[in-house]
Amino acid sequence: MPPVTEPTMSALIAIVTNLPIGTNLAMLHFLWMLVSGSLLTHRGALFPALQSTGIGEEAVRRAWAALRSGVWQISELIVEWDKYMQARQWQPCRYEGYYAVAIDTTPFWRPKLQGLASKYYHSVAEKALPAVILGLIARVGQVKGKRIALPSHMVRVNPQDPGEAALKESLLKKAARVLDLLEILLADAGFKLKDVHQAKVARYLVRLAKNGTARRNYIAYTPEQRGVKPSYGRRVRPRVRSYKGREIAATPADATVTWQLATGEAITANVWYDLVRPDVQPSPEADLFDIYAISDPRYKDPLLVGTNVKLQAPTVHALYTDRWPIEQLPLAGKQMVGAHRQFVFAQETCQRLPELVLLAGSILTGLAALHPTIPTGFWDRNPQPTPGRFRRALAGLPFPQSYPLPGRLRQKPAVTDHLPKGIAAHRRQKQTAVAVLT
C-alpha cells in the first residue's frame, strides 16, 4: 500500500463515519475521487472520474446518488474535519490574545448553466459572468510550522437575491454571529467598511482601498473662523493624492512605528487613531476605527488597513498576513483537484459539489502539512508540503478495497432490492394467454 493511502483514508473515514449508514460509504468513495485528482484527468466529468477509482458500477451510482440526494450537510463534514486536525496539534494563530478568523468569497464559473442568476466579476473577461458563488469563513492556525486555514462555515447565495453584494452581506452577518469573544475578523478590500459596520461585527481588521479616506470624530472650528460651521470632521488622507494635476499631501500621522521582520526587511507603519467613515458625522456613538498604512520595501504600495481594536502595528501586520491562507482553499480545490470544470445541473448538486471541492482542498492542504513531504523526483531537493504534491502522490491510485473500514461504513441494503430496477421496473409485459376449458 502506498505511504499516502493510510493517512488519506484515516482522514476521510473520520470525516464521513457519523453520516447515515450507506451514505457514509458512498461519500467516502466520492471524497477519495476528489482528493486523488481523478476529476483533473477526466476534465470534470464525475462518472468517468468515479469509475477510474475502481469501485465498480454500482458503487459509482451510489456515490452519485449520495452527492445528489444524500442526507448530509457540509457543516457536518466540516466539524469532523476540524476535530481531526485539532487532534493532530493544529493550533490557532494568536496575537495579543486575539485569534484570526478570515472570510472570503469564491466563484465556480458556470457560463453555460441555464437559469443561474448569480454572477461574479471575472478579471480576464472584464465583466461579470455566471457563477456559483460561495462565502467562506475559516479559522487560521498552524501545524508543524505551516499556516493552514480550516473552514468553519460556508454560506450560499440567497435564491431571492443571488447577487455578490447580497452574499457578502449575508457572510458578514454570519461571521458577526459566530465570532467568539477573542476572535478578530480578517477581510480583504472586497468587503467595504460600511458593510462591516452595518453587520455589527464586534472586532475586525479590513483592508481599505488605496485611495481610502476617513474623518476625525470632532469638528475643528473656532469662533474666529468665518462661514458656516462644518458638519463633518476634518478629512484624513493616509496617502498622497493628485487631483487635476495638483498634488494633495497626505495627512500627518498620529504615530509612526518601525520594526524589523525575521527575514531582515524593515517595516514602517503610519497610524491614525479614532476615525470615522467619510459619510459619518462626529458623534459619541459613532463606529470608531484606526487606520494603519504599512510600508514594506518588497511592495510598491503600502498596505492600508482599518481596525476597531487597539493593537500594536506589528500585530496588525502579522494578523492581516494571516488572512492569506484562506486564498489557498479555492486554489487547492479548483486547480489542484480539477473541479474548475463542472458538469452538474441540478440546483442542489450545483451547490453541494463546490462545497465538497473546497473541503477537499482543505483536506489536501492539511494532510500535506501533517505528513512527510514527498519529492517529485531526484531533482526535487527541497520539497515543500503543498497540496499539489500530496495530490500528485495520490494520482492514479485506486480506492483501497482492502483497507479495514469501521462497522458503520458499509452498504445499506434497500427494502426494495427484490424489485426490478430501471427500465425493467416500468416496462409493460405482455401477459401469456391461458386457455380456459369449458
Q: What is the pLDDT of residues 142-191, one digit of tens each?
A: 998 899 999 999 999 998 999 899 999 999 999 999 999 999 999 999 99
For residues 28-41, give the mean pLDDT.
Answer: 95
Is it the case that residue 350 has pLDDT exceeding 60? yes
- Name the band, by pLDDT with cuts 50, 70 and 90, for residue 435: low
For residues 87-108, give the mean pLDDT.
Answer: 94
For residues 64-85, give the mean pLDDT.
Answer: 96
The answer to whether 272 and 316 have CB atoms below 8 angstroms apart is: no
| pLDDT confidence of residue 432 | 60
| pLDDT confidence of residue 428 | 66
- Name the band, by pLDDT with cuts 50, 70 and 90, for residue 124: confident
Please indicate whether residue 1 or residue 350 has the higher confidence score (pLDDT). 350
Is it the case that residue 81 has pLDDT exceeding 60? yes
| pLDDT confidence of residue 296 | 93
For residue 278, which phi and psi values (nearest 5 degrees)?
-60, -25
Q: Crossing angle, helix 347-370 and helix 23-35, to 10 degrees? A: 60
Give the three-class secondary structure for 35. helix
Strand partners, 150: 139
How far apart are alpha carbons 344 and 348 in whole angstroms?
A: 10
| pLDDT confidence of residue 228 | 77
| pLDDT confidence of residue 205 | 97
How much of the chain exceeds pLDDT 90, in percent?
76
- E strand or H helix at 307: strand 303-307
Give Cβ neighbours of residue 357 (< 8 Å, ≥ 6 apart): 34, 108, 333, 334, 337, 339
To which residue does cell 521582520 refer? 261
Closest of 96, 27, 86 to residue 55, by C-alpha? 27
| pLDDT confidence of residue 279 | 93
For residues 291-301, give the mean pLDDT.
Answer: 93
Give the three-class secondary structure for 432. coil
Average pLDDT, the chain: 91
For residues 192-213, give the mean pLDDT.
Answer: 95
Closest of 246, 194, 238, 187 to residue 214, by C-alpha? 238
- Name the band, by pLDDT with cuts 50, 70 and 90, for residue 200: very high
- Name the band, by pLDDT with cuts 50, 70 and 90, for residue 239: very high
Closest of 313, 146, 288 to residue 214, by C-alpha? 288
How far apart are alpha carbons 192 and 239 in whole angstroms?
A: 19
Q: Where are the alpha helices (DSSP H) in 260-374?
A: 313-321, 328-330, 347-370
> Model pTM greater than 0.85?
yes
| pLDDT confidence of residue 431 | 61
The answer to whether 344 and 46 have CB atoms below 8 angstroms apart is: yes
Is it the case that residue 27 has pLDDT exceeding 80? yes
Enter the DSSP assignment of 120: E
How much of the chain exceeds pLDDT 70, in percent?
96
Is it the case that residue 421 has pLDDT exceeding 80? no
- Name the band, by pLDDT with cuts 50, 70 and 90, for residue 429: low
Give the three-class secondary structure for 110. coil
How far apart are alpha carbons 143 and 10 in whole angstroms?
A: 18
| pLDDT confidence of residue 413 | 76
| pLDDT confidence of residue 424 | 75
Is it the case that residue 438 has pLDDT exceeding 50? no
